[in-house]
Structure 1
């Protein structure tokens, strides 16, 4: 009996020795890819997603997350703010109907209207200036941009405004801004505006085949590729890593799904509600092949 107990303890110890968290492994890059969770739209709060709010950021930072994706749009008067879309559906989702007249609920808001419309009756909406305040206050965070303007010129204008404002405030902030690009030509557009140290190629709107993505990543300095869950394969993820890119999957809110994806080799996930600790806990299952 004692021999069996000793054997079980030995196997358990061996498993722990074989598992090393990414942040302390030799793969550590010292950048955003050291983290396994990207908080989607600043992360969820009180079971609500898509708020892009100050309080959502604080809640998820305090839970241990360090990488935050934010949706960016232009207001009616040309200010850069954190909002997923200008639609009545989003106004209803954020419970702002009582803050806005009916004719403005599906409209592109002015900056004043945007800032005065509390989210879910309690949470503060964020402008790009507010986000830079957070970056200065929390020097260990990264901001992943999701520029939501549909027209290429408007998307370019968003990035130009973002870079100009950061250069005026503190150019070092741009070292922790990670733009997402949505197609191959957008890479040159971004690089012409500013040479960001890190970039993500996110595939939700891309028509590229897996091989085209791998070839593109191999030819350019793309730090990560974000893959829709239904498109993930072990072969695709393996080839991306060989080409030099980390693989993230969006948007995942179940720890059990993370465990499955990690077995396929992914680096991490975008999530509304999962934390770094949640994802680390799946490593126990991952280490023993569960």
Structure 2
């Protein structure tokens, strides 16, 4: 099994991760489901990616990279235009080349072991003595037994390929061995039995057993129908259209309806999503006299917010729940969690509580570990040093500042604390243009989502051009490849100006490499 490399920081922020072993998702509203949702939230907070099952992902609309281990997913990704890259793991040719001299290697194919045999890897396998198997042998049976020589070569003891089931037995004096291969055209099975013990994993592709001269036999498999990499390797699937912007355009209180602001009515959320094009909303949530949570001014039976989130899987809600009464605040969040149960607790992952104080964070955390929070910087009397320390220590995702209180210095401190900057109360395009180069999102009462996105898209296209120019300069001037470097993620134009100056003033490739390493 290849190491779980997503835990080592190889996955981008906001990417998706499919675990190597399918997780048995409990029912929508039970205690096990709530615990599983809390686990997913905590993984996101620690590592920055979202755990998903393959069946939960809409491959047609997805715009984020997906990390996965199961090779059976590869054909489905490829059919939908995803590019597949091996992130970590051994290919079959590298695996065979690395086996110690004197070891016995046994291969029995199940289903198919041919369709990825092409190019340099196929040539290297042929040099090792794998002569009868190529892409023309789709779904055929295949057996190979060989002893590793010094270097990369093998002494082939047996090789056979056929549309019929294949069998081979040998007694080498130390072991009694029986091999069986059944491709999909015959028995569709693999057997590698040594002294009466089955070692084959009986998986699609190459089932491989290695018996070293002085150790126990080990087994592995390679799904060569889909990939040349070993079972358990880590892959990255990139959709044709990756998300180009992390900027959030947030509609305050769901938006406007017939010119009325701050209504928080369900109809407003529906209209702002379907017609207005917004995907993130703030919502004011209150407790009724009979102690039920509701959207302010929305008095329908039940809590309509989760029905809205269930209908629109790419919608997010920043929940404004506040009370000076600690008991009442705790009750409101308890009720919020309970209201999610009929729709599935996973919807809580798209609720972003808005924190008014450090104490409020402690209360909410005691109820449920939401993956992200918005901390209102102007709501508390603490110093900026105390606020940013709290944000850093608790990995708060967003910090919101009123538009009339935002400064570049404040934004820089928030970014240094590891959070993204939101500015609320942005209601004219000039202010948006002034802020767009230094913040990660804005909340508005009146601006149109289309106008916001057009402005941000133009700025990000210009920034992408600057990134490409810098990359090209580095490659031509210093011969340094910038592939794999996550160029500065901050939108701050001052940061970019400083980066450009440092790169253009660099005098050596080592200086450039040191700089690029600091940006990864």
TM-score (norm 1): 0.70
Report the Cα offset of residue 197 of structure 1.
0.9
Q: Deviations over 1:12-60 (max 9, x none)?
A: xxxxxxxxxxxxxx986359x9342111111112221111012211221
Unaligned runs of 5+ in 2: 1-10, 16-49, 51-244, 464-492, 494-520
Q: Indicate whether 1:279 and 2:452 are aligned.
A: yes
Partner residue of 1:183? Answer: 357
Aligned residue in 2 for 1:29: 14
CA distance in 2, matches of 1:184, 1:164: 24
**CA–CA distance in 2 between the matches of 1:35 and 1:285?**
11
Pair 1:27–1:39, CA change in 2 (3 A) = farther
Tell me, which stretches of 5 or more residues in structure 1 are unaligned?
1-25, 85-113, 116-125
Q: Does 1:249 align with 2:423?
A: yes
State TM-score, norm by structure 2: 0.40
**Shift in CA distance, 250/128, structure 1 to aligned 2, threshold 3 Å:** farther
Question: Offset of 1:133 from its aligned partner?
Answer: 0.8
**Runs of at least 4 residues of structure 1 off by over 6 A?**
none
Q: Is 1:134 equivalent to 2:308 in the alignment? A: yes
Q: Do structure 1's residue 60 and structure 2's residue 272 form an aligned pair?
A: yes
Q: Out of 257, 278, 283, which is 1:70 matched to? A: 283
Aligned-partner SS, 2:380: coil
SS in 1 for 2:282: strand
2:423–2:441: 8 Å Cα contact kept in structure 1? yes
Provide, for residues 108-163 of structure 1, a one-character-per-residue CA deviation record: whole Å limited to 9, x for no partner: xxxxxx63xxxxxxxxxx66621111111111111110014332221211111001
The separation in 2 between residues aligned to 1:53 and 1:196, in whole angstroms, is: 24
Alignment of 1:85-234 (within 5 A): 115=299, 129-234=303-408
The one-character-per-residue Cα deviations of 1:89-124 (angstroms, maximum 9, x if unpaired) are xxxxxxxxxxxxxxxxxxxxxxxxx63xxxxxxxxx
1:95 corresponds to which residue? none
Return the alpha-carbon distance in structure 2 between the equivalents of residues 79 and 277 of structure 1.
36
Pair 1:50-2:223 in alignment: no
RMSD: 2.5
Residues 53-101 of structure 1: per-residue CA shift (max 9 Å, x gap) = 12211221122111111001111111111117xxxxxxxxxxxxxxxxx
In the aligned structure 2, how far is the partner of 1:79 from the partner of 1:127?
10
Paired residues of 1:35 and 1:67 also in contact (CA < 8 A): no
Which string of whole-angstrom CA distances, capped at 9 and with x for unpartnered residues, describes residues 192-239 of structure 1?
100111111113421122222211111112000011112211121122
Name which of structure 1's ranges 64-73 and 205-214 shifts more when overlaid on structure 2.
205-214
CA distance in 2 between counterparts of 1:133 and 1:206 reads 33
Q: Distance in 2 between matches of 1:272 and 1:168?
A: 31
Tell me if the contact between 2:295 and 2:303 (Cα under 8 Å) persists in the aligned partners.
no
Q: Which residue matches 1:259?
A: 433
Contact 1:225/1:247, CA 8 A, preserved across alignment:
yes
Q: SS at 1:162's partner residue?
A: helix
| Greater C-alpha radius of gyration | 2
TM alignment of 1:5-20, pairs within 5 A: none
Over 3 Å counting, the alpha-carbon distance change for 1:128 and 1:258 in structure 2 is farther
Q: Conserved in 2, the CA contact under 8 Å of 1:128 and 1:162?
A: no
- Greater fraction strand: 2
3-state secondary structure, aligned to 1:236: helix
